[in-house]
Structure 1
Amino acid sequence: MTLSFNQIKLILRDKNPKKNLFTIAKEIAILSYKKKEPALYYGGKYLYRKDKTNVSDYLSQKEFYQLSFSEKLHNFETSSLLRNKLSFALFCETNRLNVPSMLSYNLGASFLYNGKRYPASTDKEVVAFFDLVFKNSGEDQLFLKEIGSQGGKGCYLINKNTYAKEIPSLKLQKKSFIHQEFVKQHTAINDIYSGSINTIRFITHLDSSGKPHIISSFMRFGRGGKVTDNAKSGGMYVAINMENGELSEKANQSMGAGGSVFTQHPDTHFVFKDFKIPYFKEACALVNEMVLYIPDRFTGWDIAITPTGPTVIEGNENPGMQTADIAYGGLLKHPIVQNIMTEIKS
């Protein structure tokens, strides 16, 4: 068996119908042989559940790394734009792309606003800096994102009325952040969960002729008062029907967050099945446009839906394929992914 002790514990606790131990052991052995590597991903992708009948269609660790790091799909110029949140924000604003406005940012104790630098090495100086930003911008909230972070880490929402108390615990001057306007979410999305900006993750491919393709999409939701929607922070994700922009029936949590399956949001009891996402066609068009501006050939895009349409939250040159693989039901059954894998291996 190639399952960790923690995975085995979580599998035993899983209340969903499971395959018998003989079938699990047989599938792990076959996958390890076919993929020429230990099937370490078997538990994390819930392949032990009875409804997972196409276990060969899920990406192995080797295949994941090939998609994430192949020089045929990624290059330094595009990857560096996507990896660095400050570079991405500046590029998008220069090209008038639809992203949240960046009001200010800091590189360690060097805080920058409106073309001027404000040194701020103490909490008192940081508070004074945001006094200025809140006063001049008229914003009630700011969303702070650590420039080099991933997976929802290093994200903070500060409020005009409470930031003076919150900032000392954040120690912003010790790291580097962009400070963006807070995105106002569509009321229909707020009905599901209003505590976070619940984004659509699109996986895209730019083919060898320069044509963009959307491979898959799923929507992520926060829970329990969290301001981020990532699976790593306890959120959940629901597959989207690309034909009509409707949510599927079930939402999944990552195994590390408990591996629960939900048919309705646990906080609001909103039923996921057949919910039609506002502005979904417009979101698809926006993503295809972004691919042409930043022509990384295999990218993840996070899109928020506002009352007036979609907006780009960020791009990812190394999108976490675990959730996309589970949401799609095995990405290797997608013809475009099959073509990509053939190109990588050729």
Structure 2
Amino acid sequence: MLRIQVKKGVDKVLLRLYHSSHKKEALKFLKKIEAQKGKTNPKFIKLSNQYASDVLGWIGYSPWLYVYSAISGSFKEGWIPDNYYGKIVIPELKGQYGALDDLNALQNKLFTSALFPDKAYYVNGLWTTKDYAVIPQKKVADVLFNSSQDIVYKTDNSLRGLGVHFFSKDNFEINKVMALGNGIAQQFIKQHVFFEDIVSKSVATIRLTTYIDVKGETSLRSGFLRVGRAPDTHVKSVSHIRVPININTGELSKTGYDTNLNTIEKHPDSNYIFNKRKIPHFNKCIAAVLHLHKQMPFSRTIGWDLTLDKNEEVKVMEWNGGHNDVKFGEATQGPCYADLGWEKLWKK
């Protein structure tokens, strides 16, 4: 009995901290947005409070609705606040299955797809091929560099662009890689010229978010392009530029966003103008992730990070089955999930 009471007390404290951190983050973004756009219409703040209380069951879900309203210049019923998504939607629609995305070595078991550029996995002291045959350490370099001079090594549970390391055949030292911890070695992708024109040093990422319904049908819900800054070796959350994608046409929005959610119309380093630019083979990208999601239906929403290589082939760099980002899509394209009844899940 005491143990149960202690657990309940700890859970209550953790829940309070969770929502407090979300409120702090949302209000920080709101302040930065208002520094560029001016104060958010009080009418939208009032509507956000009412919607959070009356529809979502708690006014504590309103801060992210303020942010969405400030970005879109309106209030829209059906928006899903990020903390509501994390504490209400994810437990109901994913459980623990979404967390499998943290274990990179399971990727080929779950999806069995050539779309992932996996070369090898390192887990618990063992190196294996993508088909899980153990590789003797002295043969690892031969496997990794049998078709290219460069690889990317990503540690398990790497977030926000952290835990990403680059190695060439010349500077590869197996002990240094193993010291990084469990992870995945992927072939370095040479990106399509469309993305190369935006910024050349880092590989651009198309983030597509899909949903699978109770009939097993998958649908695309949102999409945006993430590109790095000129000095970046890869796209990082601390510096990236995001540009919404029209998911019906593949066309980039006229407006992109920096890390403070301030609006820009061209890349700050290359001066690449976003307006009227259309991602090539976008339908191929959509078809790829809709098919892949059917192989992992237990995580009902998945955020996919993919790109096109120089040969116009889709390459899926990773899948995000846990707390994938819904904030940006909701604010710039949403509501993306208004037809799914998520606003009622809190009543269960």
Aligned counterparts of 2:185 and 2:28: Cα–Cα separation in 1:
41
Q: Residue 40 of structure 1 is aligned with which of 48, 59, 63?
A: 63
Measure the CA separation in 1 of the matches of 2:330 and 2:33. 22
The answer on 1:293 being equivalent to 2:282 is no
- Per-residue CA deviation, residues 175-220 of structure 1 (Å, 9 max, x unaligned), is 2121111112111111112222212111111111111111121111
Structure 1 residue aligned with 2:163:
154
* 2:320 counterpart of 1:316: yes
SS at 1:144 equivalent: strand
Aligned counterpart, 1:16: 36
> What letter corresponds to residue 79 of structure 2 in structure 1?
Y
- Structure 1 unaligned spans of 5+: 119-127
> Could you tell me which of 194, 198, 218 is aligned with 1:192?
198
**Deviation of the 1:294 alpha carbon:** 1.5
Return the alpha-carbon distance in structure 2 between the equivalents of residues 292 and 29 of structure 1.
Answer: 37
Size of the alignment, in residue pairs?
317
2:123 alignment partner in structure 1: 107
Task: Report the residue type matching 1:101 in the other structure.
Answer: D
Structure 2 counterpart of 1:321, one-letter code: V
Aligned partners of 1:5 and 1:211: how far apart in 2? 34
Q: Give the counterpart letter for 1:304 in structure 2.
A: T
Query: TM-score scaled by structure 1?
Result: 0.78
The 5 Å alignment of 1:1-346 reads 4=24, 7=27, 11=31, 14-19=34-39, 22-23=42-43, 26-27=46-47, 29-34=49-54, 35=56, 36-38=58-60, 39-42=62-65, 45=67, 47-48=69-70, 51-60=72-81, 61-70=83-92, 73-74=93-94, 76=96, 78-79=97-98, 81-92=100-111, 95-102=112-119, 104-107=120-123, 109-112=125-128, 115-118=134-137, 132-133=142-143, 137-163=146-172, 172-230=178-236, 232-253=237-258, 257-295=259-297, 296-306=299-309, 307-318=311-322, 319-332=324-337, 334-335=338-339, 338-342=340-344
Normalising by structure 2, we get a TM-score of 0.78
Distance 1:146 1:161, change over 3 A: same
Q: What fraction of aligned residue pairs are identical, expressed as a percent?
A: 20
Amino acid at match of 1:98: L
Secondary structure in 2 aligned to 1:272?
A: coil
Whether contact under 8 Å (1:144, 1:178) holds in the other structure is yes
Post-superposition Cα deviations, 1:269-314, rounded to whole Å, max 9, x if no partner, equal 1111121111101111111110122213221122211223212222
CA gap 1:90/1:219 in 2 versus in 1, 3 angstroms? same
Q: CA deviation at 1:37?
A: 2.8
CA RMSD of aligned residues (A): 3.2
**Between 206-215 and 59-68, the greater mean CA deviation after superposition:** 59-68
The amino acid of 2:282's aligned partner reads F
Task: In structure 2, list runs of 5 or more residues that go unmatched.
Answer: 1-19
Task: Give the letter for the 2:319 counterpart.
Answer: G
Does structure 2 retain, via aligned residues, the 8 Å contact 1:237–1:327?
no
